[in-house]
Structure formats: structure tokens, C-alpha cells
Chain A
Amino acid sequence: MVIAAIAQSSISANAEIDATDLMTKELNDRLRGLMLSGVKRVNVRNVYGQRYIGTRLYTPERLKMEIEVYGTPGNDLAAFLYGHKITVHGNAQDGVGNTMDAGEVIVKGRAGDVLGFSMRGGEIYVRDGCGYRTALHMKEYEGKRPVLMVGGRAQDFLGEYMAGGIVIVLDLEDQTHEANFIGTGMHGGVIYLRGSVEQSQVGDQVEISPADDVDMAVLDQHVSRFEERFPELEMDREEILSSPFVRLTSKSKRPYSNLYAY
């Protein structure tokens, strides 16, 4: 496990960490050490299940680092992320972007359950599909609006309790959305799905509408960014944007106001 030394002036070569046999804590120790010593970009190789990569990188001075992860990072990748950029060359597991505040996560593969849980800022791009309970309780406030994009499909409970932010699920392989319980408890934010869903698949207070011009402008912007990050997909942006999209939003801010007797 040798950390290649970097001359401070060199910005073209990335630092290297070989994560073989490293426990989670050791790996994250080294990442932080590199960041504090001024490194801006690092490759981490042979990752098998180490957790919380990117979490230990908060500094009041807002130092930023770009991390390229090779292998399969463990749970809670980019949890509480504070502005860094992480690219995963492989699949990710559960909890990606847990309570993420700012920064960018790119997964060249699929992600697991609880993706973007309580996400409050930044962007996550997942090339393939994701699991259950995606974007649970995602939030936004004034200018700070998180974005989550998934190239494949999501499983059940997408957007549960969503309170803000934008989620876009592209289903690029045209397999149709089979998730149920989409948006149960949703009271803010917006979900865009390429294709369609039945009313029976979404929560009671979720409204399904076809995407209008305003929506398409938003989608255009984000689909472009998605395409930039996954050139290997060789997406036909025009074709994708011309296919039908639906927008899911909450009918009311207080969906449960009639529930209680006082």
C-alpha cells in the first residue's frame, strides 16, 4: 500500500491509494490525509466494501477533492458529502449520498437501496438502475436544490416523503416503470419519469401530469449533463427528449391534515 507522492505543482497526475486489505477507517484516514496535504485528485483502487467514502472530508475552509473509485464501494458512499466529486467505476451499494449537502457523485453502474436519502444539495448521476426507497425525504430550500438522475429504473418506494429536489428516472432500456408506492407521503419536490406510470403505482396525494414546456426545458438541461457524464452510453439526446415524460408532484403541502380529531 504505497501512496505515491505528488509534487505540489503537478496537477495532471492523480494520487493513488490501493485499498486492498484496508479497513474502512484506514482508507478514510488516508483520503483525509491526502486532502489536507493539498491533493486535489486521487484514484482509489481495489475497493471492496469500504464504507463512508467521502464522508470524512469536511473542513471549514471547504477544501475540495475529486475521487475516482475503482471497485465496489461499500454502504453510505458520499454520506454527508460536503462539496467533493466522486466517480465510481463499478456498482455502488446502499445509502449513496445519504444526507448529502453539496458536490457530485457519478456511478458508472447501478446503485443499491436508499439512494439519495435525505439529500439536501448537489447532484447524483447513476448510469444503470437503483433499488428501493430512492430519494426518501429529499429536501430543498430556496436556492439549494438537489438533483438525482438514474439511467435505468428504480424499485418500490421511489420519492417516499419527498419534500424538495428533482428526481429524473430515464428508463433508457425502455423496460417500463414497475415500481409501486411511488411518492407516498410526498409533500414537495418533483419526479420526472420517462415513459408513464399508472395511478395505482403512486401515492394517493401524488398528481401525474404530462411534462409541459417548462418541464421539458428543465429536462433538456439535465439530460445533457447526464449524457456528458456517460459517453459510453452513446445516448441519442434528441430521441430521448422527444419521448413522452410525466411529472409527479404532490397535490398538497399538508396531505394528512384531516387525519386527527382534536
Chain B
Amino acid sequence: MRSFVFPEFQIIRDEEKCGQCRACERQCAFGVHTYDPVADRLVSDESKCAGCQRCAIFCPKGAIVVRPSPSFYRPNASWSREKIEDLKRQAETGGVLLSGCGCDKPFRIYWDHIVLNASQVTNPSIDPLREPMELRTFLGAKPDLMDISAEDGDVQIKTELSPNLVVETPILFSAMSYGAISYNAFRSLATAACKSKTYFNTGEGGLPREMRDEFGKCAIVQVASGRFGIDAEYLNCAQAVEIKVGQGAKPGIGGHLPGEKVSASVAETRMIPAGTDAISPAPHHDIYSIEDLSMLITALKEATNYEKPISVKIAAVHNFAAIATGIVHAGADIIAIDGLRGGTGAAPKAIRDNVGIPTELAISSLDRRLRDEGIRNRCSIIAAGGIRCSADVIKAIALGADAVYIGSAALIAMGCTLCQKCYTGKCNWGICTQDPRLSGRVNVEIASQRLSNLITAWSHEIREMLGGMGINALESLRGNRDHLRGVGLYEWELDVLGIKGAGE
């Protein structure tokens, strides 16, 4: 069937600058550029281009410009070009449209409508370059009240404490499985997490054996519906265990790692045959109701000798606050909520773009709900889904989160340009692929340095902003909505966020 769809990207090559070095041909795994020896020039097939910018950046002469091709359909507010062409593709294939990364639709971004406070006169702002500015955070359950006896100066703590994760900065690496991302990218995240004294999340792909000794101490391991790679050693080598119930990019549905991406090594870690599709079912098939989740949480606590906090990751959907309350009562120490903009390696586009609610609203309503129930200190909240900069992190904490997970941001630090073709396995940046020729492009030392740099830079910016608010410890910002104001929001949005409008 002939395709009726235009190429998404246009490639403009400056023939005068081009030296025919063929770097672009080598760099592009989609096969866009080919060298025509007869004409001694590079020829580009635009229909294959993903717009990942690899060739443009690596061209030594800067001779290539890759840009979205303009749309020449008659302008139509309802039938946008994307809607028209997606429809045509479905007519041509009869298939479900897949995509990678997170929702790219113009839903309101609340981070950009929230402004922060600064102290003047009545409260001195604090200079983080001179005075201590503390970001250390404890993730886990805290007792309601402590039983402490003090006799003759000898203080004894009688309350039994739950295990907590200690993190020196409130930024953790989100769950991205080995299989969805390459071994080198996965290892870079682990390396950077250890270096920056934070944690990475293994995602549902397990933790390769050779990495456990070195990286277990900064790892949060995931128990997902496919139960890949889970054994007692896996659970005990890490610092926390996360039950993945859902994720923001595809709430309610499962995951599907195509057989192309299940290499021998991926298969070994996940303990499935090489080349088969790795299916993560939609629900955990042993969790059909809240008491089943309670059972799984307790089972994991038993398996780890009650030494590790248990986290539950859910997607932010309509009634999630009530679900989350149940999860806390079920014994979870940490709740990770993944909002509308959460990323993924592969999801049906319709689900990615339409299911879920924005992270900002989710954090606020969850924090409020748990407080109203009087159980806020029985768990920590980690917020995920669309955190793009340090200001987003601060706003998340002021809205009530204890820490944030970054996924897309971490990948971008390593080189990702959000071309959304992760599911093809042909990531030219070497991140979301199992092709060894491509994954070798991620140099673990350099990529992990880039990730550590990101954490350092954001942590410092957070310190500056905290100091500006007259606060010198992160725990004094958590849930402190006093320091936020909304701009350009409806009253109901201000209500849900629990903040005043600027000037109020």
C-alpha cells in the first residue's frame, strides 16, 4: 500500500560545506544517509528520518540542518497535521500507534505557573556559599511520636524505627530498565548515583549480577508485574525495593519489550529466553485488591529481613489519592507517583497522551489527603513525571513531595533529544538500544560524569533558591505552600494546589 503521509523531518545539506566524509552515514542507524559514489555526494531519504539530530551534531562541518518539515495542509484547528497523519498511518497498517518518551501535548504545565518566594528585611535570605544549606533527606516511614527516656543525661530511644533511605540531595534517577536502555546507559546511571550519593532505580529489568557488588548500595530494585530477574539476592543487595503498580506514561496497561531488544545479556538478567518478547502484564496478577498488595509488601519485607524500605510506584490518575491512602495503610514506606508527563521506552500513543493527571496536581492532592488522614509521616512521597529543572524540584517539594525521580532529564543529560523513537531499538545516541554498535556510543565514564554534573548543578541551584527563601534545611520547605504563588491559574487549580494567587 502506498503511504499517503509526508516525511516528518526535512534534511537540508549545505553541499558547499559538505566534505563527503560520510560521518552522517555512519552515525545514522535509520539508514537515512547513503553515499552515492558515482555522484560523489551524500543522498538523504527523509522518510526514514527520526529527527534525533545525531548527524547534525556530529557533522564536522555543520553542514546538515534537520528540522520538522512544514505542514502544507489547510490550517484546521481540530484536524491538526498530527491527527491527520496518525489516522492515515493507522489506515495503512491497522495497528496501534506506538511512541516513546512522555506526553508531548500542550496540557497546562503547572510548574510554569508557580512562582517562588524570597525573603527580604523581615527574614534574612541565607547565602549558600557561606552558610550551611542542608538537602539531606530521609525516605521512608517515620513514627508518629517517639518514646524517649532521659535519665541522668543518658538518652535512650525506645521506639522501633523503620528503615529509611538517606539521600544527600532530593533528586533520584527514575526507573529505566536494562533492556529498555542499553547496558552502558544503565551502568552510567548507577555510577553517577553512587558518585552523587543518591540512588538509581533498576526498573523492571533486574540488576545484572556483575553490578550488584559495586552498585547495590545505591540501587532501588523494582518488582514489577513481569517479576523479571527477581531473586532473594537481587532484593537484598539493594537499599530499597519498589513494587511497580503503574507508571505515568501508560497507566493501566502493561509493558512490552520487543524481542529485538531482548539480547542474550538482557535475557540472562531477566531470566527469559533470548529473542522473546518481554511482557509485563497490566496488573500484578497476584494483586487484585488492596489486601493483596498488603500481602506482597509484607512478603518483600520478610524477604529482606525488614531492613529495607518498600516503595510502591503508582501512576497519577483520577482517584489515586484514595488508592495511595490504602497503600500507606498496607504498609508501604514510600509512594512514588508518576504523572502525566512520565516517559517510557514504548507505549501506545493514545494512552501516553491521554491517560493520567499532571504530577503537580497529584503531589499536592496526595500530600493533603495523607495529612487529612493523619498518616503523612508514615510514608515519603517521591514525585516523577516531567521534572525539567531545579525550579521544578523545589516546587515539587514545596507542594509536598519528599524527593523527585528524574527520567527524561537524566537521559537528556546523556545525549537524548526526545525524538520518541525509543521503541525501534535504533537509538543513535546509544541510550535506548541493545545494538552493540550503537550502545558503545555511550562512554560510561563520560556519561556518568554528565549525570553527576547535572545533579551537582541542580543541587546548587536548589540551595540558592532555598537560601533566597530564608530556609537552610530542606525539611523546612516540604509542604510549605506559603512559599509558592500561582500566576495565570483558575481558582480551582489554586485550590487543588493549595496555594494562593500571586499578590494574595
Contact = CB atoms under 8 A, between A and B. Distances in A.
B130 interface: yes
Contacts of B127: 185
A259 interface: yes
Considering residues A157, A184, A256, which has the most beta carbons from chain B within 10 angstroms of its beta carbon?
A: A184
A160 interface: yes
A203 interface: yes
Interface string B170-204: 00000000000000000000000000000000000
A184 B130 contact: yes
A89 B493 CA distance: 63
B131 A256 contact: no
Contact of B130 (A185, A259, A261): A185
B457 interface: yes
Interface in A153-194: 157, 160-161, 181, 184-185
A157 B132 CA distance: 11
A184 B129 CA distance: 8
A181 B130 contact: yes
A184 B132 CA distance: 10
Contacts of A261: 457
Nearest to A161: B130
B-side interface mostly: loop
Nearest to A186: B130
Contacts of B129: 184-185, 256, 259
Interface string B121-134: 00000010111100
Contacts of B131: 157, 181, 184
Interface string B343-372: 000000000000000000000000000000
A185 B131 CA distance: 9
Interface string A192-229: 00000000000100000000000000000000000000
Contact of A160 (B130, B132, B457, B460): B130
A197 B463 CA distance: 27
A203 B130 contact: yes
Nearest to A185: B130
A161 B127 CA distance: 11
Contacts of A184: 129-131
A181 B126 CA distance: 14
Contacts of B460: 259
Contacts of A259: 129, 460
- In this complex, the interface size class of chain A, counting residues with CB under 8 Å from chain B, is 10 to 19
Nearest to A259: B460
Contacts of B132: 181
Contacts of A160: 130
A123 B460 CA distance: 38
Contacts of A181: 130-132
A262 to B, nearest CB: 13
Interface string B113-156: 00000000000000101111000000000000000000000000
A10 to B, nearest CB: 48
Contacts of B130: 157, 160-161, 181, 184-185, 203
Interface in B440-475: 457, 460
A181 B127 CA distance: 13
A36 to B, nearest CB: 35
A161 B129 CA distance: 10
Interface in A223-262: 256, 259, 261
A203 B129 CA distance: 10
Contacts of A161: 130
A99 B457 CA distance: 35
Nearest to A156: B131
B184 to A, nearest CB: 25
A218 to B, nearest CB: 27
A259 B66 CA distance: 34
A160 B127 CA distance: 11
A259 B127 CA distance: 14
B316 to A, nearest CB: 32
B391 to A, nearest CB: 16
A259 B457 CA distance: 9
B21 to A, nearest CB: 31
Contacts of A203: 130
A249 B457 CA distance: 28
Nearest to B457: A261
A160 B126 CA distance: 13
B468 to A, nearest CB: 16
A181 B132 CA distance: 9
A161 B132 CA distance: 14
A203 B130 CA distance: 8
B459 to A, nearest CB: 12
B463 to A, nearest CB: 11
Nearest to B127: A185
A120 B294 CA distance: 67
A118 to B, nearest CB: 15
A133 B127 CA distance: 14
A259 B460 CA distance: 9
A157 B131 CA distance: 9
A210 to B, nearest CB: 26
A261 B457 CA distance: 9
A203 B127 CA distance: 14
A181 B133 CA distance: 13
A259 B130 CA distance: 14
A256 B129 CA distance: 8
A157 B124 CA distance: 16
B209 to A, nearest CB: 38
B230 to A, nearest CB: 41
Contacts of A185: 127, 129-130
B450 to A, nearest CB: 13
A161 B131 CA distance: 11
A251 to B, nearest CB: 15
A184 B128 CA distance: 10
Interface in A129-172: 157, 160-161
A157 to B, nearest CB: 8
B134 to A, nearest CB: 14
5 contacts: A181-B130, A181-B132, A184-B129, A185-B127, A259-B460
Given A161-B130, A181-B132, 16 more contacts: A157-B130, A157-B131, A160-B130, A181-B130, A181-B131, A184-B129, A184-B130, A184-B131, A185-B127, A185-B129, A185-B130, A203-B130, A256-B129, A259-B129, A259-B460, A261-B457
Interface of A: 157, 160-161, 181, 184-185, 203, 256, 259, 261
Closest A-B pairs by Cβ, 10 of them: A184-B130, A185-B130, A160-B130, A185-B129, A256-B129, A161-B130, A261-B457, A181-B131, A184-B131, A259-B460
